[in-house]
A and B are shown apart, each in its own frame.
Chain A
């Protein structure tokens, strides 16, 4: 048995909170192998042996086929694989795990082969070290033969799971029973990745960027996850658990205190009205949005509808039902639906798109919609029809030129004209907005702004494209600097142009959930901030203590520094002087990079 020594990992805390739970490991091949309790161990052992026999037969056939094609010289590796299947030490270990621990065969196979793979990976000789891949291939074959006769069910899982994975596609959230998940820890990723944003929205503490995590974690290990400090402890000691008890209990009880009665206005200390809205994505975030006192859904990311759909493309009726629920629930406040923004982060893997080497600069957002017009028309029709039930808006993502807006408007106009012929539908006016998230859109803001009713600033993408930094790439994640002077200049320009043109503008990036940044945005002139609903109460609290004139001074001063670290130092001091509580965690959140060490 592997030792149960405590191991401490440090990564990036991307979603706050402290939780303890048991690891549910999703491995490199995206396999999710769970430990289940098996009552009839004889039957389980038989099941394992059947899988082995089936695998052996497949190996024999494969070997024959290969020999026909390339001769027996090259089939030797299959010989070795077959001997691994027959390996009596390995089989004895797996059968003992099944019998002694009442484990399911899949888990027993993973335990044994994981251990072997790690042992082989530590060999010095390169040839022998590489044999770990043979073990992995054999394990894969055994698991394949085990799969199908008992599908994975979340029903029998405990409800204190912490997902441990290399990567985590946002669509994975759709396949999980979130009531059973307490936290998330990943080898990849940074604070602003899509998965991080969803974690915050779901109030799921998360730590990312821990390289080599999976080598030390098995499903069922106890994990202590600290999303505030970015720390994950595997098999924490009793002493450590005792020390953390206070924070664990405090986090467990904050859920209720975040609730705010609806209809509350947010005013700065000197009475400027600020509108706080919610960014949402999953249907189950709606109640969080309502209880946070959000004055509308500032950004509904419609991708979820697509990637949770079995065929990838939900029909008009299905979409209409979702949008209808949103507008009815949020009434009288507006709901802004961002049309499908797929392409980046591979939330929407469609075979006919092929794989794009550089998806964030590829066919995504409005570009994809204008090339798949039937899909786009379906979404537009659903949104327009939902206007019969309440206040809904359309936001177009990834706009980089005014022509894209013209094309989208022409299409929306045609769909609308068709719907207007139907006497049974009482459509309302549906305002149109453009996402400003590409530097080209910032630079041609005047012409874009004249074509739409309002603008939404997607700060995450704007930062990423302005700084040419892939926020999901751990090697350069440290260069993702929200306070970079170029980012602040872009934001300042957006504020100035929209003020001149008297065009409503809303910040829709997660950055506005940071109190320091929120004060900066307020000072620049942004009074509509949309963020994950759970951050709304704390931002409201901060803005209430800030006089508008002071925030303007802070913004003017912040724009004068040449580096992000100077902006950071200044902003932290200036805002800390204004409010009555400790902002250290938030200051760290937008800290200028310490070069990686």
Chain B
């Protein structure tokens, strides 16, 4: 299992459009991918948009990703890139 901390750094936070993209991205991997806020314990399924939005992750929120499965390494790399690229919204 891989655990990795990521930062929400775009202006709007992990809002509906970004959440939709994250669900699609996470769903393309077979691994189980969970997310939680660094300041809270509750883990959500990153393949569930309602779970992601419930994190209410605004700009500056730190999230912890836990990934487990056959393609966990690839999944981790892709998701970290997604966060670093500010969800592909701000250049």
Residues on A lying within 8 angstroms of B by beta carbon are: 76-77, 79-80, 83-84, 87-90, 116, 119-120, 123-125, 127-129, 131, 134-135
Contacts and interface: CB of A to CB of B under 8 A. Distances in A.
A103 B38 CA distance: 37
Contact of A89 (B12, B13, B51, B56): B51
Contacts of B19: 80, 83
A129 B54 CA distance: 9
Contacts of B58: 125, 127-128
A46 to B, nearest CB: 23
* Interface bracket on B: 10 to 19
A80 B17 contact: yes
Nearest to A113: B50
Contacts of A135: 50
A63 to B, nearest CB: 12
A104 B47 CA distance: 26
Interface in B72-88: none
Contact of A83 (B13, B20, B44): B20
Given A83-B20, A119-B54, A120-B54, A127 B15 contact: yes
Given A76-B16, A80-B16, A89-B51, 10 more contacts: A80-B20, A80-B49, A83-B49, A88-B47, A89-B44, A90-B50, A116-B50, A127-B12, A128-B56, A134-B16
12 contacts: A80-B20, A83-B20, A87-B49, A88-B45, A89-B50, A89-B51, A116-B50, A120-B54, A123-B54, A128-B53, A128-B58, A131-B53
Given A83-B23, A124-B56, A128-B56, A90 B16 contact: no
B72 to A, nearest CB: 19
Nearest to B16: A80
Nearest to A80: B16
Contacts of A88: 45, 47-48
A119 B51 CA distance: 11
A89 B45 contact: yes
B31 to A, nearest CB: 15
Interface in B13-31: 13, 15-17, 19-20, 23
B50 A76 contact: no
Contacts of B13: 125, 127
A564 B53 CA distance: 53
Contacts of A131: 16, 53
B56 A84 contact: no
A90 to B, nearest CB: 6
Name the residue in B15, B17, B19, B50 with the highest tally of chain A Cβ atoms < 10 Å from its Cβ. B50
Counting chain A CB atoms within 10 Å of each CB, the highest count among B15, B44, B48 belongs to B48
A132 to B, nearest CB: 10
B20 A79 contact: yes
Nearest to A125: B56
Interface in B38-62: 44-45, 47-51, 53-54, 56, 58
A77 to B, nearest CB: 7
Contacts of B45: 88-89
Task: From B13, B16, B44, B48, name the one whose CB has the most chain A CB atoms within 10 angstroms.
Answer: B16
Contacts of A128: 15, 53-54, 56, 58
A120 B13 CA distance: 16
Contacts of B50: 84, 87, 89-90, 116, 135
Contacts of A89: 44-45, 48, 50-51
B17 A84 contact: no
A88 B44 CA distance: 12
A458 to B, nearest CB: 52
B82 to A, nearest CB: 16
A125 B12 CA distance: 12
Contact of B20 (A76, A116, A127): A76
Contacts of A84: 49-50
Nearest to A128: B56
Nearest to A123: B56
B46 to A, nearest CB: 11
A77 B54 contact: no
